Amino acid sequence: MSRPPKLLILVFAALALSGCLPQFQLTLPFQPMPTALARGEKLYNENCLVCHKGAEGGTMMDYPPRHNANGHTWHHPDCELTYIIVYGSNAMTEMMRQMMNVPTTTPRMPAWRDKLSREEIDAILAFIRTMWTEEQRGAHARVTQAQC
């Protein structure tokens, strides 16, 4: 097998360094480090658990929604979940409140932008994914890839 010409290698290297090559994604499921999951669980328990509850129980019609396998969080892409965490209730959450006839006294999702960093939000979302089935994680990955 012949070696590629030096000019081809230089062009490829220049494109790679400039960011002009397409980004490649791993085909294996993302597996966060155990320390990141532990951090996400701690942050979830400190900030989210009081309203969204834990890994067991609930239904898709709970409001605030359960983030476990019984809820519907896995239907939403990461970019939308992150937006809701950062900025709080939005048009979609208001539509869901109306559709589900949620009492007006039920608290709305607060904005966490001044309380949680992006890394902390990512850790929380990684922990939430551990509460879903393998099929739900796959569906969530597909909707995230399509919409984010």
Q: Quick one: pLDDT at residue 35? A: 84
How many Cβ atoms from other residues are within 10 Å of residue 140's Cβ? 21
Q: Quick one: pLDDT at residue 32? A: 62
Residues spanned by the domain of 105: 34-147
Does some domain include residue 16?
Answer: no
Q: Quick one: pLDDT at residue 30? A: 53
Write the burial class of residue 9 (CB in 10 Å: 0-12 exposed, 13-18 middle, 19+ buried).
Answer: exposed
Q: CB–CB of 70/52 below 8 Å? A: no
Q: Quick one: pLDDT at residue 3? A: 54
Q: Quick one: pLDDT at residue 26? A: 37
Q: Quick one: pLDDT at residue 36? A: 84
Q: Quick one: pLDDT at residue 144? A: 97
Does some domain include residue 46?
Answer: yes
Residue at 42: amino acid letter: K
Say how many domains are in the chain: 1
Most confident of 32-36, 89-93, 117-121: 117-121
pTM of the predicted model, to two decimals? 0.75
Q: What is the CATH number of the domain that holds 99?
A: 1.10.760.10
Does some domain include residue 41?
Answer: yes
